[in-house]
Amino acid sequence: MEYTKEEMMIITASRLLQNGEVCFVGIGLPSTACNLARLTHAPDIVLIYESGTIDTKPHLLPLSIGDDILAETASTVVSVPEIFNYWLQGGKVDVGFLGGAQIDKFGNINSTVIGPYKKPKVRLPGAGGAPEIASNAKNTFVIMKHNIRAFVEKVDFITSAGYLNGGDERRKMGIPGEGPQCIITDMGILRPNPESKEFELTSIHPGISIQEIKDNTGWDLKISENLAVTEVPSLEYLHVLRDLQYRTSIAHTHSQK
């Protein structure tokens, strides 16, 4: 069965999640990947959104963290201070799943501004809970489309900390979480070098060339000696993903009428 680059990215990301994990979910691509995992191989994954919904099981993809479908299908709903103070800062979140507008070679994420902060070319939606998630989740996964504007040598503004300037700087700064473990894109998977913490290409999606990935990366991307080829999406995952997106599209179209 044919599949798109975006489907490849979402399904690859979903497969990295383990059943039973507690996952703090960002809206958009992270939410799609996490709910796909819940509907396939990880039925007992615990999804948390920053609005305070815990163990939510939406049958449609939410439009925002305030979408009522999250509260309606959650096991419980707590206050925003509690979700951050008790769950996130308390070390109870296994994976924080984020996106962003820019990311650099050390996994720092920018969702604040493009250009100088005081006179930006573009002012973006901002931080939300992403800085706290990136700092306090035991591990962080990032999902983003791979292009030269998004994958930069150095982000214009650090909204959510990765490994800062690399090496052990994150640890020296006292940031508790382990940091970003992978960046899943529509071209491949990048993981940090154990020593330098610079992200390297460790898996390439079928039909994509190394040169194509390098051309869409704003730093001199290193290639792992053990470069793998990403597993193609199965019919099951494609069916579940497309059904989820179709039902979401229909429901949201009707709600706007």
Write out pLDDT tens, residues 197-255.
999 999 999 999 999 999 999 999 999 999 999 999 999 999 999 999 999 999 878 66
Prediction pTM value: 0.95
Tokens matching residue 157: 């503004």
Could you confirm whether 195 is annotated as catalytic?
A: no
Residues in CB range of 254: below 8 A, 6 or more apart: none
Neighbours of 249 (CB within 10 A): 12
Mean pLDDT of 181-208: 98
- How much is the pLDDT for 254? 64
**Arithmetic mean of pLDDT over the chain:** 96
For residue 76, pLDDT beyond 80: yes
CA distance 17 to 33: 9
Q: Identify the CATH number of the domain defined by range 5-251.
A: 3.40.1080.10
pLDDT bin (cut points 50, 70, 90) of residue 147 is very high
Helix axes 5-15, 29-39, angle to 10 degrees: 60
Average pLDDT on 105-129 reads: 93
* Side chain identity at residue 53, one-letter code: T
Instruction: Give CA–CA dist 180/96, Å, rounded.
Output: 9
Catalytic residue among 6, 7, 21, 50: 50
pLDDT in tens, 31-48: 999 999 999 999 999 999
Q: Hey, is 64 helix, strand or coil?
A: coil
